[in-house]
Structure 1
Amino acid sequence: MNRREGEGCPRRNADAVKDANSSSPVIAAFKVFQQELDTKHDKHERLVKISRDVTIESKRTIFLLHRVTSEPNADNILKEADVKLDAVRQKIGQIAEELRGEDIFQFHRAFTAGIQEYVEAVSFLHYIRHRSLISLEEINASLVFMRPEKVDDKGSADAPQAGGPVLTFQVTPSDYLLGVADLTGELMRMCISSVGNGDIDTPFQVSQFLRQIHDGFSYIGNTGPYEVSKKLHTLRQSLGKVEDACYALRVRGSEIPKHMLADVFSSRTAHLDHEEGVV
């Protein structure tokens, strides 16, 4: 029997196919696509790692700030929080470096969690100092970074030069709103700690502040991002707990020793949690 033409030369056929593929404009185009997708994936992974570091350091700053209610010298804690947030901003500067020349919304999901946590931490520090809400413009004004240029000279190797490019990172309005919504839970925890130390003024200040934030979110309604409507429910829960606990403190505060007020506050919030679970 006669073999079909080319049947006995598989290597020759494979080489011919390979040569044809290497010269094919379609294959060349897809190789370019592959390289672009690999580059985008690598950048996405780097942003995820940086965002994770931003989240961790921001949480540590929040835990540190909760010590303000129990420490006699709060200034040292606030200064330490400033140092930690400066380090967080340097991490955000790395995000700005990665996003230079890129569309921010292509990679937004990679770093949004870290930015929200940063907004929560910096707004918490601002409230402790000023008893007010930090604005989006104030947050963005602190996210301006100078990147030194490196010039290779024969006499010096990689010497950083002043006057490098200025990088800016702009927190999106949605990330700002989501961070502020998370702030309400930290303020509720600060109320419990304050009452435990005999401070019954802070809960009433926080209650009024949370009411203002709730009213502000009410103006947004359903026009904001989907995540905002989800966190608005948690905000209302925090506001309700603080207001009900403040009511209990106002009515029974005079008859309960100061060292037991925290127990009343905690039991009140626990009772509300139980009622919310029964639907």
Structure 2
Amino acid sequence: MNRIRKLKSPLPPTIEKETNNRLSQITALFASAVPDTTGPNAWRYQRQLSGAVQEFIEALSFSHYLRTQTLISLEEVRGALPGILVTGEDYVMGLFDLTGEIMRFAVTLLSSSILTEGGGEGEKGEKGVRGLDEERAGIVVDLREMRSLFEALTVRYGMRELGKKIEVMQGSVEKVERAAYGILVRGSERPTGWMPELE
């Protein structure tokens, strides 16, 4: 899915087919575990399945983000995994992992970035300032919002992986910010209408 270069649009047919096939294979594997995870055994294997559920959430939420530029809800995730216990902790941890996927996507997209000529907005909202186009700037804003919401979380004791996930998430957001700043600074140093020499 990191081959996609446009948000808020349907995936190209070949990528859509590949994504759906893989998600179907994974949901079939989860479905085979349902008899062992229902009734009195619902919590028995939760810890063993938790990592797989988080990875599934990461993949499903990345696909959802590419199509809609929004986060998938916990209810939508639970609907994609009927019969499997999806806890709030698994959901949040899967979204932490999503920031890494968005970071890879954003850095690739930003590296092919073209600065806008007057299409961006400056600090005070004035038009005419060169900047990132709306799509690229939106990804940076989305990651910053996710970071601020994750950092504001108050969680119960026992989420062992949380500290590491926060650290990795912060690093991912900082990489995207540095890439965006680099593009803006390099772009502001170039005269209007500058084109690279192709000879």
TM-score in same-fold range (> 0.5)? yes
Q: Deviations over 1:55-84 (max 9, x none)?
A: xxxxxxxxxx112139xx942112321222
How far, CA to CA, are the matches of 2:20 and 2:168 in structure 1? Answer: 28
Local SS of the residue matching 1:226: coil
Correspondence 1:80 to 2:80: no
How far, CA to CA, are the matches of 1:125 and 1:115 in structure 2? Answer: 15
How far, CA to CA, are the matches of 1:112 and 1:240 in structure 2? Answer: 28
In the alignment of these two chains, the number of paired residues is 169
Deviation at 1:190, TM superposition (A): 0.7
Q: Match of 1:90?
A: 28
Question: TM (normalized to structure 2)?
Answer: 0.74
Residue number among 20, 31, 45 corresponding to 1:107 in the alignment? 45
Q: Match of 2:144?
A: 211
State whether residues 110 and 179 of structure 2, in contact with CA within 8 Å, keep that contact through their aligned partners in structure 1: no
Local SS of the residue matching 1:105: coil
How far, CA to CA, are the matches of 1:208 and 1:141 in structure 2? Answer: 28
How far, CA to CA, are the matches of 1:182 and 1:203 in structure 2? Answer: 20
Correspondence 1:123 to 2:51: no
How far, CA to CA, are the matches of 2:195 and 2:42 in structure 1? Answer: 54
How far, CA to CA, are the matches of 2:172 and 2:195 in structure 1? Answer: 25
State whether residues 42 and 85 of structure 2, in contact with CA within 8 Å, keep that contact through their aligned partners in structure 1: no
> Which structure would you say has the larger Rg?
1
State whether residues 203 and 242 of structure 1, in contact with CA within 8 Å, keep that contact through their aligned partners in structure 2: no
Q: Deviations over 1:246-277 (max 9, x none)?
A: 1121121353868xxxxxxxxxxxxxxxxxxx
Deviation at 1:208, TM superposition (A): 0.9
Deviation at 1:127, TM superposition (A): 0.3
Q: Match of 1:137?
A: 75
Q: Match of 1:245?
A: 179
Residue number among 167, 182, 187 corresponding to 1:233 in the alignment? 167
Q: Deviations over 1:139-187 (max 9, x none)?
A: 112223xxxxxxxxxxxxxxxxxxxxxxx22311111111110111111
Report percent identity of matched pairs: 31
How far, CA to CA, are the matches of 1:218 and 1:192 in structure 2? Answer: 22
How far, CA to CA, are the matches of 1:217 and 1:93 in structure 2? Answer: 31
How far, CA to CA, are the matches of 1:203 and 1:247 in structure 2? Answer: 12
Deviation at 1:213, TM superposition (A): 1.2
Deviation at 1:96, TM superposition (A): 1.6
Structure 2, unpaired ranges of 5+ = 115-131
How far, CA to CA, are the matches of 1:188 and 1:203 in structure 2? Answer: 12
State whether residues 78 and 125 of structure 1, in contact with CA within 8 Å, keep that contact through their aligned partners in structure 2: no
Q: Match of 2:101?
A: 186
Distance 1:196 1:243, change over 3 A: closer
Higher helix content, 1 or 2: 1
Task: Tell which has more relative contact order, 1 or 2 (C-alpha 8 A, sep 6+).
Answer: 2
How far, CA to CA, are the matches of 1:118 and 1:66 in structure 2? Answer: 16
Distance 1:248 1:98, change over 3 A: same
Structure 1, unpaired ranges of 5+ = 1-64, 145-167, 259-279
Q: Match of 2:118?
A: none
State whether residues 217 and 232 of structure 1, in contact with CA within 8 Å, keep that contact through their aligned partners in structure 2: yes
How far, CA to CA, are the matches of 1:93 and 1:100 in structure 2? Answer: 11
Deviation at 1:214, TM superposition (A): 1.4
